Chain A
């Protein structure tokens, strides 16, 4: 097996070094063209081809080749350096969405709706038609596209401010009308692009720039669990929550995101996948620490699993 690192794509987040179970990789002492330290393949002989390094890399900078098969950038993801902060898992989520489009052969009839937030430039990264929406209104825009051309596969990609704050009315009504669109909801418990303000998903006690003493539930209420909220609607839907904090979780997320898109392909129902994601910059943590914080603090409040399927309706807690 060969592990190939394209060093100048790297932002020095270190997630790959952390993810490798056999210590194949180590960070260099020299900086790359962008000014970041990058991973070196120190012990190639120890590689077991698990591909976890390629799975966790947010910048598609690592490829693993084994027995003639190689990981690769999905066709639905353009070869453009993404602007996200080092270690931000937006890059991973973009890759998973693109992989789903490739796997289901829907790229050429897909239209994505980009939000206002860190992923405002998503329209530069996906290799399909894209439409920019104003803050919070992506699902309304998606409704317009899908009602206008039902054969298109329409997806939105939204953050927690976009989907759960200003866009809450559109979120509930789009799900309630059962629009056959697919929503990728990136929950990182903070407002990233605007500089780290409290989000509806910010945890109790979590410090943000508009909750400098930590979120006080007496003043700001509790964080909103979107998937749990939407599952109470009578209209059928596919609702699931996944996480980006480690390779196993990412691989599970890949399956769930594909399932969500599959439902649209089969015109079954509205589908939404809430993806727990890191914000190293907003949280003030290094990328690997941020993954730890997510696991320790977010997952207990935002449990993972499939919450509602068109076949079963609401899934019992014990069966998620």
Chain B
């Protein structure tokens, strides 16, 4: 397996965090992993993205021009990265903040109103978890239970947050499975 994923949104949406969760899950599953944030000047009060690579063999470059997956939490992120995704790749679109769907027809799209779903689960801040869940459901790149365990460890001191985030992840996962799921995995 060799999968490159770009996670993108604006600063404060928790994009870097979900990238780290994905990397942790990969590491726990015995994979080689890298997590690389874009830390350039666009970070200050602006867009934010990170690249996660999950692999069975040692990883060369931690960044990519053609990811297998894209999680886009806001419109500028979709605008910036849509065309870089490989054919047959997966794009997760947060329709709460993105008012268009991908123009490409050769990728698998999960569209989910992540902010609204997150609010239903208990907090708008969990939109990132919804999007991550959607990506997992569509790509099968990690099991949601692995991520849920890490969520429990990460937010251990605040049980309410654990519940909210795990619920958000599950809702997203369901959407990812329903909309893409088996089709993407062939």
Contacts and interface: CB of A to CB of B under 8 A. Distances in A.
A85 B10 contact: no
A193 to B, nearest CB: 7
B103 interface: no
Given A31-B97, A35-B10, A35-B97, A281 B44 contact: yes
Contacts, number: 21
Contact of B74 (A35, A83, A88): A35
Nearest to A31: B97
Interface of A is mostly: loop
A83 B41 CA distance: 9
Contacts of A83: 41, 44-46
A83 B11 CA distance: 13
Nearest to B45: A85
Contacts of A84: 44-45
A86 B74 contact: no
Nearest to A85: B45
B127 to A, nearest CB: 13
Contacts of A86: 45
Nearest to A280: B45
Contacts of A193: 44
A58 to B, nearest CB: 11
A118 interface: yes
A35 B44 CA distance: 15
Q: Which 9 pairs show the lowest CB-CB distances between chains A and B?
A: A85-B45, A35-B74, A86-B45, A35-B10, A85-B44, A83-B44, A35-B97, A35-B75, A84-B45
Interface of A: 11, 31, 35, 83-86, 88, 118, 193, 281
